[in-house]
Structure 1
Amino acid sequence: MAKQTMRIILSLIVITTTAQLSLQSVNAQIEKRPHIKIRGVYGGVPTQLLEQNKTLPELGINAIFMGSGGLTQERVALLKKQGAKVFAEFNTLHVANYLKEHPDAAPIGVDGKVCPAPQGWQGICPTHPGYRNYRMDEFRRVLKEFEIDGIWLDYHHSHASWERAVPDMPDTCFCERCLKQFQRETKTNLPDAPASELSKQLLGKQKETWVQWRCDVFTDWVREFRSIIDEMRPQALLGTFHCPWTDTDFNGALKNKLAIDLKAQAKYVYIFSIMPYHARFNHPHDPAWISRQTSWLGKHLGIKGNPGEQHKIWPIVQLSDWGESVPVEQVNSVLDHGTRLPATGVMVFRWGSLHPQTEKVDAMIKSYQSLKP
């Protein structure tokens, strides 16, 4: 009986100690991290803070990321006056309204028919020349009109809904245009058969060639974006918001399904903003997942976070609620893991839904202030 009582007491001590250590790690402020050059907010201008006569520098914030459609000369000037860098987010392959007048740009599925939007996320066929010209023209306009410090590609992947715990990623696009371009560029001869038959062949014995070709199509978009930025605003950075999976997650879906070849894109993109939304992606109690994914990305691309490196990793981490909630007690831990090397910058997702949660905003500010050199 005495031994059993002692075991219970020891177990309670261990549990209590573990809980205390966990609480301490959550509440402890992050130490100064001079390697973190960017402390950003994604999702618009934090006017709610500025209206309180607070300045971004005193809050530890030095960068704002916003959709290119939300840019105005007044907003850019306001942020520049605050000493903040301004980065635009640019939608590449998710402008669904384009299909209203150009239905031939809809991705075709394995059955040879228009593929329904997975979970409401409508993609566009990446080989549609009119759509590509449309996005490149808009890219030029944004760079010409606004004194931005950089522009980030977003939704640069195939027709899919992956920003969820269980992704929905149909195989596309098997339109006549894609099939002809595939044959021409890979020197592959396909039989004269309907798309429903050819898709089986392309996802079967010719899958490796098909997957690489799809990745190359998306990478070529990035090449053209780079050429435009070099021509119009060469001092601006080109970044990308991208899926946080490793190359083996979901059976290699990063390339096999989403057509994202990070190593190939690294020839043109210098800032990789991995999107490890821990709560959204079924890790609500594990903020350490953020640094595990960032660490993998660094190893995959050979990025260490050293001064002078051309390529950099600036994660975008989840503080606002989206599906799963992020408790205020996690804010410090999320930013702790988001600012560990090889990361040299970080931003929080997303201001529009975050700013009403003032306790989390205050916790974010304290974390940013504490890690600021």
Structure 2
Amino acid sequence: MPVAAPVVAVKCYGYEWHTRYGLSDVQAADRMAAHGVDWALIQNSLDPLPTSDVDQAPPTADYDDVRFRDRLRENGIRVFESSSVFFHPEANARDPRLRPVGDDGRVMSPFDWYLGASPTSRSYLAERAETVEKAVSAYQPDGVFLLFIRFPNFWEAWTPVVRREDIVEYCFSPDSLERFTEDTGIELPAGPAIETARYITNELRQEWTRWKCDVITDAVATIQASAVRARPGTEIMINGVAFSAHDRGNLAHEILGQDLGAISQHAEHVETMVYHQILARDPQTWIPEILHELRPSVKGTLLASIQTTAAYTDPPHHDRGRSPYLPPQEFAAALSGVAAGGADGVSVYHWTDVLADEVTGDGVMVDALRRYKDGSL
């Protein structure tokens, strides 16, 4: 059952609260509580997150994983260990079969910080599930937050100016095609990847999309089982994309294989990344539209993940029609859109920007969070 709204969750993957603002782990936990935070989505040293758009290198001194978690719990904050599923550049380097192949017949190349991993390798998934199980056993968290739980692609680039025909679809690697046939019983014609991809997307679009969604949903179920083995009652939260079913042929299902309704059968909590500046959308109209569409299909808690600062404004991202600015007042506007959308709460990406606004700015973000939580926004 959905939890009582509104939940305030924060993503705190990095450690800028220590390296930039000088807080100890205990002080950081206390400050989170003062901001009205209910859930903290953090990373750990057993399953560290690969560096992405956030500097996630841990502090070198005066930090302890367990002490930080204990202090969060003392403050009534629920802890979710974050785990990157199908984004692990080291795994790609170790096993070339994980490199995705596109419908253009080409192996995926790194784009900025991103290089996805094919989600169809059962052995790789087993490794990720085992790592999650070890982390849950060590830290006994309330839950696990699964990032990059989708077919590979840099969805952040898909602002409204980008046409569907300009988006490369993955994964048409030999291993993925072999698993498709194994799972569905559908034989595919032999030939180059680009020809097979053309046949699949023209003749088997529905079957291919359903299979992709099943692969991702099954991956969530596999990791859920591992987490629960380590600690019965461990909850799963997944990191979901925010595209309407009517947006360029259902990008979430067809390109990314992410069916949030189906996934919610195995995840108590679903967040959707309504990053309005990244996707060049209006926060007060687009955010409620996405949430209203998702709410009937998501079984459990639905959270809206919102941005705190502008992102992807420099090359190679600068020509996508997005604003180069996201002032604190616009953060409040996004929260207002969440409040109007029927979500069970908000997930803030990321907490150190809220801290920064309090320390060096006017505290607009903290004030907006408090007003969102008490219903006065």
Q: Which position in structure 2 is the counterpart of 1:28?
A: none
Q: Which position in structure 2 is the counterpart of 1:143?
A: 136
With structure 1 as the length reference, what TM-score do the two structures score? Answer: 0.80
Q: Give the residue type in structure 2 aligned to 1:325.
A: Y
Q: Does 2:66 correspond to 1:65?
A: no
Q: Which position in structure 1 is the counterpart of 2:369?
A: 368
With structure 2 as the length reference, what TM-score do the two structures score? Answer: 0.79
Q: Which position in structure 1 is the counterpart of 2:179?
A: 181
Instruction: Give the whole-Å Cα distance in 1 for the aligned partners of 2:29 and 2:128.
Output: 38
Instruction: Give the whole-Å Cα distance in 2 for the aligned partners of 1:104 and 1:115.
Output: 11
Q: Which position in structure 2 is the counterpart of 1:335?
A: 335
Q: 2:147 aligns with which of 142, 146, 154?
A: 154
Q: 1:315 aligns with which of 304, 308, 319?
A: 304
Instruction: Give the whole-Å Cα distance in 2 for the aligned partners of 1:130 and 1:53.
Output: 37
SS at match of 2:356: coil
User: Is this contact kept in 2: 1:159–1:169, CA < 8 A?
Assistant: no
Instruction: Give the whole-Å Cα distance in 1 for the aligned partners of 2:233 and 2:334.
Output: 31
Q: Give the residue type in structure 1 aligned to 2:11.
A: Y
In 2 relative to 1, CA 370–206 (structure 1 residues): closer, same or farther, beyond 3 Å? closer
Q: Does 2:79 correspond to 1:86?
A: yes
Q: Which position in structure 2 is the counterpart of 1:257?
A: 255
Q: 1:295 aligns with which of 292, 295, 303?
A: 292
Instruction: Give the whole-Å Cα distance in 2 for the aligned partners of 1:131 and 1:85.
Output: 29
User: Is this contact kept in 1: 2:309–2:327, CA < 8 A?
Assistant: no
Q: Give the residue type in structure 2 aligned to 1:364.
A: M
Instruction: Give the whole-Å Cα distance in 1 for the aligned partners of 2:29 and 2:67.
Output: 18
Instruction: Give the whole-Å Cα distance in 1 for the aligned partners of 2:68 and 2:217.
Output: 32
Which has the higher mean CA deviation after the structures are superposed, 191-200 or 44-53? 44-53
Q: Percent identity?
A: 20
| 1:124-178 per-position Cα deviation (integer Å, ceiling 9, x unaligned) | 1112233212211111111111131111111111120012353674222222222
Q: Which position in structure 2 is the counterpart of 1:208?
A: 206
Q: Does 2:12 correspond to 1:43?
A: yes
User: Is this contact kept in 2: 1:118–1:160, CA < 8 A?
Assistant: no
- What 5-or-longer segments of structure 1 have no aligned partner? 1-33, 304-309
Q: CA RMSD of the aligned region, Å? A: 2.7
- Report the CA distance between 1:112 and its aligned residue: 3.9
Question: Which protein shows a greater Rg?
Answer: 1
Q: 2:189 aligns with which of 188, 191, 197?
A: 191
- Report the CA distance between 1:91 and its aligned residue: 0.7
Q: Give the residue type in structure 2 aligned to 1:80.
A: R
SS at match of 2:237: strand
Q: Which position in structure 1 is the counterpart of 2:53?
A: none
In 2 relative to 1, CA 56–111 (structure 1 residues): closer, same or farther, beyond 3 Å? closer
Structure of greater relative contact order (alpha carbons < 8 Å, 6+ residues apart): 1
Q: Does 2:359 correspond to 1:355?
A: no
| 1:168-214 per-position Cα deviation (integer Å, ceiling 9, x unaligned) | 74222222222222122211122332323222211111222122112
Instruction: Give the whole-Å Cα distance in 2 for the aligned partners of 1:253 and 1:103.
Output: 26
Which has the higher mean CA deviation after the structures are superposed, 52-61 or 259-268? 52-61
Q: 1:103 aligns with which of 85, 93, 96?
A: 96
| 1:84-121 per-position Cα deviation (integer Å, ceiling 9, x unaligned) | 11122221101111122211211122354422234552
Instruction: Give the whole-Å Cα distance in 1 for the aligned partners of 2:111 and 2:249.
Output: 19
User: Is this contact kept in 2: 1:354–1:361, CA < 8 A?
Assistant: no
